[in-house]
Amino acid sequence: MSVIVEFVGVPGVGKSTLSHQTAKILKSDHSHVAEPIRRVDNRSGLHRVLSKGRFAVEQALRHPRTALSTTEDLLKIDQTSSTDQVRVIFNLQYVSGVMTHAHLNHNVTLLDQGPYQGVWSVGLHSLSDWGYLFDHFEQFLSRTAPDLVVCVDAETDTITDRLANRSGGDTRLSTDTAQFSRAVAGYEELKTQLTTANCRTITVTNETEADLEPNAARIADEIRSLSQSN
């Protein structure tokens, strides 16, 4: 049986680093672990877009009605620009394709972007109320929900330092902006939605480098438990 794990949190909390460290621990046990989002993100610009497009196209071909329904739902959510509208449609179809592919494999799949983070991304450049937005995508989330969601928290000062240290200042958010406040509000609503979701949820605090190993070990233990129950 497959086990799909999604890491959620605002940019800078360390989702990708924590996900990859968890993968390393699981692989040391000879587990079959896939990191499709990480693999795609590590590719060069055009190759990365084409790889994402392949997942989106496969999703549309395998589940055309679902893909159409998701697009229609997205078109009902306002965005600040037509470019943002295209981006969120493409991104959510990509995430859907990754989830479909993960369910077909008998692996542990670790995602630092999955359906919950995908819906959060839809709301980031929207004026829609966060509660309304997550309710609007309730069917999408129930259909694509992972087996385990790991909520990754960190203090704002920690996030600020991490974002500042990203290569070339590459980040979508700055912690002193209204958009970051909206991002945090959306993440808090995401966690509220998870209280009634049909998947396990754990929360870790990822403040320092010393937190990384124990957090990853805890998550790996949770995944092993899920694998045995499946």
| Partners of residue 7 on adjacent β-strands | 150
What type of residue sits at position 156?
T
* Interatomic CA distance for residues 70 and 96, integer angstroms: 9
pTM for the predicted model, two decimal places: 0.94
Q: For residue range 11-63, list pLDDT tens digits in order.
A: 999 999 999 999 999 999 878 999 999 999 999 889 999 999 999 999 999 99
Each residue's pLDDT tens digit, 66-91: 999 999 999 999 999 999 999 999 99
Q: pLDDT tens across 143-180, in order?
A: 999 999 999 999 999 999 998 887 554 456 788 889 99
Q: For domain 3-39+107-229, which architecture applies? A: 3-Layer(aba) Sandwich (3.40)
pLDDT confidence of residue 98: 96
User: What does the pLDDT read at residue 139?
Assistant: 93
- Separation of first and last alpha carbons in the chain: 6
Which stretch of DSSP H or E encloses residue 146?
Answer: none
The confidence score (pLDDT) of residue 100 equals: 93
pLDDT on residue 1: 64
Domain ranges of the chain: 3-39+107-229
